[in-house]
Amino acid sequence: MPRAPVQARAERRRASLLDAAQRLLARGGVAAINTNAIAREAGAAIGTVYDYFPNKEAVLAALLERYRERLKEALLTALADADDHEDALVERGVRAFAQFYQREPGYAQLWLGSQLITPLREAGERWGQEFAELLAPMIRARPRAEATRRPISPRRAQRVARALVHAVSAVVTLALREPARERAALIDEAVALARAYLALPR
């Protein structure tokens, strides 16, 4: 029984180190993160960082996982609040995604970094796969025109969802580099892109 407070303290310490890494990421991107910088930002000894993370890549992977959980929650909430009309689902999903990017300034940099840093590619790919799995059932369930009544196979739906996740992510990432007015216009384009892609015959 005495282990519970120790475990709780350890979880809080680990979270504080990730908070420090997240602040560094938001200020200076992936290049700003290293174990010494994290220790300074968190007000901790360098040895404390190594107690929880063997290297920079482990910190980044843990941050990516933290963001993934938060984004999943944001998307599920947005989709639950939308009605069953496909356009509403698409719009709410894309806009929730864009809002998350704006609310979590380090996320876009980390997501892009995950495409470039070899040890993080696998984590980034799992991220895309998981969100594709959330979308695939909706794609299979969407109404079909009479000329294309044949249902989409689970494999094709997964592929369509995966392409959509990465396409929308790219446009939203581009939007966040722009001034506010152009940013809003590009997010509108991301919504239009998603609607048009899903409307294509399969």
Cβ of 86: how many Cβ atoms within 10 Å?
17
d(CA 80, CA 84): 9
Domains of the chain: 1-54 (1.10.10.60), 56-199 (1.10.357.10)
d(CA 106, CA 122): 19
Q: Look at residue 39 and give its three-state secondary structure.
A: helix
Higher pLDDT, 35 or 173: 35
Mean pLDDT of the chain: 82
Give percent of the chain above pLDDT 90.
Answer: 30
Express the helix, strand and coil content of the chain in percent, nearest 5 each: 85, 0, 15
Higher pLDDT, 61 or 19: 19
Tens of pLDDT, residue by residue over 61-102, are 899 889 888 888 888 888 776 666 667 778 888 999 899 988
Task: Point out the least confidently predicted range of 3-17, 33-47, 180-194.
Answer: 3-17
178 contacts: CB under 8 Å, gap ≥ 6: 186
Q: What pLDDT sits at residue 202?
A: 61
